[in-house]
Structure 1
Amino acid sequence: MTTNSSWQTYLFRVIAGDEKGLSASTIRGFLDGLEFIYRGLSRFKYTTARRHRLPVPVISIGNITVGGTGKTPTVVWLVRKLKAAGFTPAVLTRGYGGSSQAGGMIFTSSDLAGLTAQRTGDEPFLLAKMLGDTTIVVGRERYLNGLQALRINPDIDLFILDDGFQHWGLERDLDVVIIDASRPFSNRHLLPRGFLREPLSSLKRAGVILLTRTAKLSEDALNQLTVEISAFASQAVVATITEESPRLIPLIDFSTGRENGVIPAAQFLSGRKVAAVTGIGNPRQFLASLENMGAEVGYFQAYPDHYHWEEHEIIDLVKGLAENGFSELIITAKDGVKFETGLDKLVGYPLTCYILSLGFTVTDELVTRRIEAVTNPINS
């Protein structure tokens, strides 16, 4: 595995306690001080935040750690579930990495032909692509942006607040927190000494806690984790997210919305040498997913989260991989919305780019009841 920043890898090892010696101990001591400051500032921001309530219910989906836990697939699952039940949800999201964070933007999939992921942010662009006519509301000011969305589309009867657990300026009717069961709390330190955004006691605000990536946990380990979470969030429903069978979608199909070339990922990857690149919050999990399906990952490059590739970077990457004998390049859907802008330039190279697509579903009846407790007033 290679990375753009060897210092970042070293720092992660220091934070995890894998690096020993005077230098590592000195860095950890410095980070301990910063963690103390972060804790105080975070608490001050939470207690002094001015909270606003939108005129329709809000369900927040967020997490307590930095890095990818599976929020985006969970948002997709919940929006589809609500639409199937007859509701008209919209998604409120900051649009991190996009140029529209400050001014705000409201759009649906029908507007994507005139937009780019660099403008909307990669996650909002992907959500619009996956959720059809669902209204996507981008911007830092979620309350004001939500009011504007309601003026434009009065049929909206519920908002999903994406990555909202720490967005304290907007009241919500239900907090759903996603926890990666394979590394639930990192080293249990707050930023920047660890990867926690808030103390674990903050989980008491959650009404539903969903565990992802539980496949490799034993039943005892999963039960132990559930008991520990429940100690911090005694009122929350703790449930497991089921990961649907992963698929590989050719970039050209992903771009056009067709599914002619979609193939089961595990069957295709088993024993196959592939290349992989990504710019997501948890690149190691992406690599582990490929290796767990039997892929031989001969080249892996991790970029910063929300990284925007220039067209020449994509072309140079594909050209170099093809020249080194690779026939397949695997990326995530969040990478795909940026790679597809250079699709026409990639046609001539003997390399196929695939999107690894992961779907989530939740079947726990208690979770459904918590959601219904929010949505029932809409029907009454």
Structure 2
Amino acid sequence: MGIFRDIASLIYGRVLDTRNVLYDFAIFRSYKIKVPVISVGNITLGGTGKTPLVSYIASLIAEEGGRPAVVSRGYKRKDENKLVVVSDGEKIIEDAELTGDEPLELALDLRERARVVCDSDRVRGAVYAAERLGATAVVLDDAFQHRRISRDLDIVVIDATAPFGSGKTVPSGRLREPLHNLSRADAAILTRSDATDRKVEIVDEIRKLSPSCAIFSARTETRKILRITGEGLDSEPQETVFFLFSAIGNPASLEAQMMREGIAIAGSKRFRDHHKYTEKDICEIVAKARESGADALLTTGKDAVKLREFDFGMPCYRVKSRLVIDDETAFREMILQAATGPEGQASTPS
């Protein structure tokens, strides 16, 4: 079976390279919208820490008086082809079935600081955000391969603990497209850079592929531990023993983060990324938690938006993480330069 996967990967990579050439030579059209666009995406499958970065970028723009909008596909929502306004900056649709888990997590995290729109057609979603919601800048979530929309800044998020997906495209490896396409990136963010000793090697590889690419190192830290309904812990996190469960792209990184920060984890349970929880799942989680001797359950913000309807019978909390970028000043300047018009002011949709 391995040889067939390798052949499939080779064909898939060639198809994507051909598609990229067609965009490079404007045979396939990229649409330019009326406000600046910043794209955040991956070159590999799996969780890289992209969602905290999208939230961070939108917050930076809002802090400077801009009106950012996040535009996401809304993976595994009820109808991915339908345009859904998850948040207009005031009202939030708190239904993960309609919005998808990550867009709803972003909307609840950003609140009035950003609009959030779901649409598999990113061009339509971005135009709607600019023209109907008054967005002055658009942040595209998971859009490195989505070249139908032109962007002013193309950011790739790379997990420093597993950077290049074994060098092979899917299905043999974890690359979404051949690695040399990193040459398109304007900036690369090395997440979880504190968990590897290969950072210099990774930076050298990126430099070979994209000499002008700005490279930043980042790490994820726990900012707060909150009940899934919003309230905080009654005691210090280190005084509570948790049972950790999640349905995210890289659960091992979350588990390692908890360990580094001294948060006691009695046991854990992993589900597939974007898993839709059932009563049976909850019963299993609670049973394993009680068996492990845990005082409470712990999960992620992405999972929490799908768990509010359940009665756990024991406290359930979520981790609220933040992204810490080493050269924050340079990163901030890069984002604000891309997100503002030629006069240094936030662009206004016409």
**Normalised-by-shorter TM-score class:** 0.7 to 0.9
After TM superposition, the score normalised by the length of structure 2 is 0.88
Structure 1 counterpart of 2:14, from 31, 40, 44: 40
Residue 264 to residue 203, structure 1, CA distance change in 2 (3 Å) = farther
Q: Which residue of 2 aligns with 1:111?
A: 91
Q: Which residue of 1 aligns with 2:233?
A: 261
Residue 336 in structure 1 maps to residue 304 in structure 2: yes
Rounded Cα–Cα distance in structure 1 between residues aligned with 2:205 and 2:235: 39
Q: Which residue of 2 aligns with 1:180?
A: 159
Residue 252 in structure 1 maps to residue 229 in structure 2: yes
Q: Which residue of 1 aligns with 2:118?
A: 138
**Amino acid paired to 1:164:** A
CA contact (8 A) 2:86 2:99 kept: no
Q: Which residue of 1 aligns with 2:76?
A: 97
Structure 2 counterpart of 1:149, from 129, 140, 143: 129
Q: 1:296-349 CA distances to partner (integer Å, 9 max, x unpaired)?
A: 64432221111111245324532553366432222111111111222xx23xx2
Rounded Cα–Cα distance in structure 1 between residues aligned with 2:278 and 2:181: 39
Deviation at 1:121, TM superposition (A): 0.2
Q: SS state of the match for residue 305, structure 2? A: helix
CA contact (8 A) 1:77 1:361 kept: no
Q: SS state of the match for residue 75, structure 1? A: helix
Q: Which residue of 2 aligns with 1:167?
A: 146
Q: SS state of the match for residue 39, structure 1? A: helix
- What does 1:283-302 align with in structure 2 at a 5 Å threshold? 283-294=251-262, 297-302=265-270
Q: Which residue of 2 aligns with 1:6?
A: none
Structure 2 counterpart of 1:352, from 297, 315, 324: 315
Residue 332 to residue 352, structure 1, CA distance change in 2 (3 Å) = same
CA contact (8 A) 1:245 1:264 kept: no
Structure 2 counterpart of 1:129, from 108, 117, 122: 108
CA contact (8 A) 1:314 1:339 kept: no
Rounded Cα–Cα distance in structure 2 between residues aligned with 1:286 and 1:262: 22
- What does 1:210-249 align with in structure 2 at a 5 Å threshold? 210-218=189-197, 221-249=198-226
CA contact (8 A) 2:50 2:157 kept: yes
Rounded Cα–Cα distance in structure 2 between residues aligned with 1:214 and 1:264: 27
Residue 98 to residue 264, structure 1, CA distance change in 2 (3 Å) = farther
Residue 373 in structure 1 maps to residue 350 in structure 2: no
Rounded Cα–Cα distance in structure 2 between residues aligned with 1:30 and 1:190: 13
Rounded Cα–Cα distance in structure 1 between residues aligned with 2:3 and 2:263: 40
**Amino acid paired to 1:277:** F
**Amino acid paired to 2:322:** G
Deviation at 1:245, TM superposition (A): 4.2
Rounded Cα–Cα distance in structure 2 between residues aligned with 1:140 and 1:124: 12
Deviation at 1:145, TM superposition (A): 1.9
Q: What is the aligned-residue identity percentage?
A: 29
Which range is displaced more, 328-337 or 358-367?
Answer: 358-367
Residue 73 in structure 1 maps to residue 41 in structure 2: no
Rounded Cα–Cα distance in structure 2 between residues aligned with 1:369 and 1:120: 31
Rounded Cα–Cα distance in structure 1 between residues aligned with 2:226 and 2:108: 14
Q: SS state of the match for residue 171, structure 2? A: coil
Structure 1: segments with no counterpart, 5+ residues:
1-26
**Amino acid paired to 2:213:** A
Rounded Cα–Cα distance in structure 2 between residues aligned with 1:329 and 1:163: 29
Rounded Cα–Cα distance in structure 1 between residues aligned with 2:91 and 2:276: 20
**Amino acid paired to 2:106:** L
Q: Which residue of 2 aligns with 1:23?
A: none
**Amino acid paired to 1:249:** L
Deviation at 1:110, TM superposition (A): 4.2
Rounded Cα–Cα distance in structure 2 between residues aligned with 1:244 and 1:173: 29
Rounded Cα–Cα distance in structure 1 between residues aligned with 2:79 and 2:183: 33
Q: Which residue of 2 aligns with 1:88?
A: 67
Rounded Cα–Cα distance in structure 2 between residues aligned with 1:242 and 1:294: 16
Rounded Cα–Cα distance in structure 1 between residues aligned with 2:234 and 2:115: 27
Q: SS state of the match for residue 355, structure 1? A: strand
Rounded Cα–Cα distance in structure 1 between residues aligned with 2:201 and 2:140: 30
CA contact (8 A) 2:36 2:340 kept: no
Deviation at 1:42, TM superposition (A): 1.6
Residue 246 to residue 368, structure 1, CA distance change in 2 (3 Å) = closer
**Amino acid paired to 2:121:** E
Rounded Cα–Cα distance in structure 1 between residues aligned with 2:96 and 2:53: 20
CA contact (8 A) 1:208 1:370 kept: no
**Amino acid paired to 2:8:** L
Q: SS state of the match for residue 207, structure 2? A: helix
**Amino acid paired to 1:130:** D
CA contact (8 A) 2:223 2:320 kept: yes
Q: SS state of the match for residue 78, structure 2? A: coil
More helix by share: 1
Question: How many residues matched?
Answer: 336
